[in-house]
Structure 1
Amino acid sequence: MDGEIMEIAIITLEKVIVMCILALTGVICYKRRIIDDKQNEGVSEMVLQVFTPILLFTSLQQNFSEKMIKGFIVCIIVSMIGFLISLLISYVVSFREDDYNKAVEQVALIYSNCGFIGIPLVQGIFGSEGVFYMSAFVAVSNFLIWTHAVIIMSGKTDINSIILSLKSPTIIAIILGMTFFIMQWRLPKFIMEPLEMFSSVNTPLAMIVAGINIAKENIIKSLKHKRLYFICLLRLIIIPFSVLFCLKLLSIEKIICQVAILAIACPTGVTGTLFAMRYSKNSGYATEIFSMTTIFSIATLPFVMMFC
């Protein structure tokens, strides 16, 4: 196997281990009651509404390059390809499920945790260039989560959610960041310095929140749920390799292909659980999928990256 590919797989494994240690901190804090559910919700909102948007904005503050602009557009196209493949697979495998579980499985299979877990990983492996490209996946994912995923969960078109998605801090940060990138505007150092400090907080806090959410689940009980293994196999192996096969046929630039597969190979996000609770679907099942895919991704992420 190509030495460079093996090196990416090893780096991915190292970064996954780092993320596990951070997540374990969250588990310990929750088990020892240092942080409770309400505090966790607050920290989660800070990550989603403040630190991740700042990280995305600062990662886009780079010297102008037509190559990167073209790469960003390619990433948007690739993310849509990944979405369509995930959508097709999710509809096929959940066809016989009742509506209570079907919506949960479809959202879990289609939408990866490319924000919470993908951004810290790609930052550690590929640096600011990787985050630049990952921001395209995050933008598309955020828009579709608040439109398509809401339609799946609610069973009806929610215009307010579509409008809300365009007003989210993540989308606004990416639009502002791309504007600054294209126009080559630069903020003063006394503003960029605290923004960069906030950016560095994103990774540890995001993984601590992930650890807390895992700690809230009965993992032993989840291990006995046979269909969970099938869902994990689809989310973490089948879907990423299906997308990778398509990207190989299209001869996508290597770093874009690697970032794309990393984004798609991430475990299921916690958003599925929140939507399941809001729209009276099986939120317990959604949380089980989140926990199990997150745990199994420790092994599957480095494995998938070996083939990029």
Structure 2
Amino acid sequence: MELSISLMKQIAAMFLMIIVGYILIRKKVCNISDSKILSTLVLFVSGPCAIINAFTIELTADKVKGFVLAVFAAIIVHIVYIFISYILEKIFKFNAIEKASVIYSNCGNLIIPLVQLVLGQEMVFYASAYLIVQTILIWTHCKFIISEDRNFNIKKILFNINILAIFIGMIIFIGQVNLPIPVQSAMNSMGNLMGPLSMFVIGMLLANMNLKEVCMQRRAYMISFFRLIFLPGIVLLIFIFSGMTRLIKGADEIMLISFLAACAPSASSVTQFAQIYDNNPGMASVINALSVILCIITMPFMIMMYNLMV
């Protein structure tokens, strides 16, 4: 229960940051083009720093086991989501954007800063496991769904900035490399900016949308329900009845991080692919925006359910 309350407080704080970003655009203090600059800073500076920082921890058998468990949990989540999405596609006639929005979550820009704030910087180490699995699937499965392009580009995966940051972090972790204090301090400060900057960007993008139109899209509510409540509920039952939350020491916290990622709003990558391949970008933006707004209520509720059942 305490964790749910803490999560609610942090989500409320992040929501206030979203409002700040919204006001900056509405009051014309900033232009919508400025959001691209902030997005670039998050993508290429703050995000990688937060990930690398998470790997500057002591190498122990427990941490290795925990990381393997986190990767396994992420794989299970995606298998379940992909399988069920195909069933839902047949029943509700999902298009490519709706299907991808149900499967893929914003496990980077939202979950990493949330884990930083609620569980501590060290736990980002386990959050990166989900990011590895999803990044691979985003550039293969998700790209294929939206573009119907079967070409597999390994470079796009290996040279993805988050994968590179995780690779560098793994070298530091396995080699137990001690970074110079000024470098570590600078990276820590830049990594801590990820949360506020990410929230500002979301607020700025929402300010550029017709929120009345967003809230009137009935189908987007259905997609958000599957993304934020229905599928995470199934994953929660699998985590509990499979005994995964008790496999190793600290498994309940590690699985909580995977569960946080599983019940996050739809991935911004879906919107980006929709724009690139001109496949319903408007619908993708609406689903993304609505799921972000609704997650303020749904995520604390789902975490409360996790705490009650685990």
Task: Give TM-score, length-normalised by structure 2.
Answer: 0.93
CA distance in 2 between partners of 1:190 and 1:257 (Å) = 34
Map of 2:150 onto structure 1: 157
| 2:169 is the counterpart of 1:177 | yes
Map of 2:86 onto structure 1: 91
**Counterpart mapping for 1:19-38 below 5 A:** 19-38=14-33
Map of 2:293 onto structure 1: 295
**Counterpart mapping for 1:30-109 below 5 A:** 30-95=25-90, 102-109=95-102
User: Displacement, 1:257?
Assistant: 1.5
Contact persistence 1:50–1:169 (CA under 8 A): no
Write the letter of the residue equivalent to 1:167: F
**Counterpart mapping for 1:181-192 below 5 A:** 181-192=173-184
Unaligned runs of 5+ in 1: 1-5
| 2:103 is the counterpart of 1:110 | yes
User: Displacement, 1:95?
Assistant: 2.9
Contact persistence 1:55–1:199 (CA under 8 A): yes
Contact persistence 2:223–2:287 (CA under 8 A): yes
Map of 2:248 onto structure 1: none
Contact persistence 1:11–1:125 (CA under 8 A): yes
CA distance in 1 between partners of 2:79 and 2:30 (Å) = 39
CA distance in 2 between partners of 1:94 and 1:28 (Å) = 38
Map of 2:302 onto structure 1: 304
Map of 1:3 onto structure 2: none
| 2:272 is the counterpart of 1:279 | no
CA deviation digits over 1:140-169, x for unaligned, max 9?
112211221111111022323x32121112
CA distance in 1 between partners of 2:7 and 2:132 (Å) = 23
CA distance in 1 between partners of 2:213 and 2:189 (Å) = 40
* Of 298-307 and 126-135, the range deviating more from structure 2: 126-135
CA distance in 1 between partners of 2:225 and 2:24 (Å) = 30
Map of 1:209 onto structure 2: 201
Write the letter of the residue equivalent to 2:85: S
Identity, % of aligned positions: 31
* Of 212-221 and 117-126, the range deviating more from structure 2: 212-221
User: Displacement, 1:276?
Assistant: 0.6
* Of 167-176 and 88-97, the range deviating more from structure 2: 88-97
CA distance in 2 between partners of 1:94 and 1:215 (Å) = 31
* Of 88-97 and 35-44, the range deviating more from structure 2: 88-97
User: Displacement, 1:194?
Assistant: 0.8
Change (3 A) 1:279 1:95: farther
Contact persistence 2:20–2:200 (CA under 8 A): yes
CA distance in 1 between partners of 2:43 and 2:86 (Å) = 28
Write the letter of the residue equivalent to 1:288: V
CA distance in 2 between partners of 1:135 and 1:178 (Å) = 11
User: Displacement, 1:177?
Assistant: 0.7
Contact persistence 1:236–1:300 (CA under 8 A): yes
Contact persistence 2:32–2:205 (CA under 8 A): no
Write the letter of the residue equivalent to 2:60: S
User: Displacement, 1:294?
Assistant: 0.4
Change (3 A) 1:96 1:240: closer
User: Displacement, 1:96?
Assistant: 6.3
Unaligned runs of 5+ in 2: 246-250
CA distance in 1 between partners of 2:114 and 2:50 (Å) = 13
Write the letter of the residue equivalent to 2:122: E
Task: Give TM-score, length-normalised by structure 1.
Answer: 0.94
User: Displacement, 1:39?
Assistant: 1.9
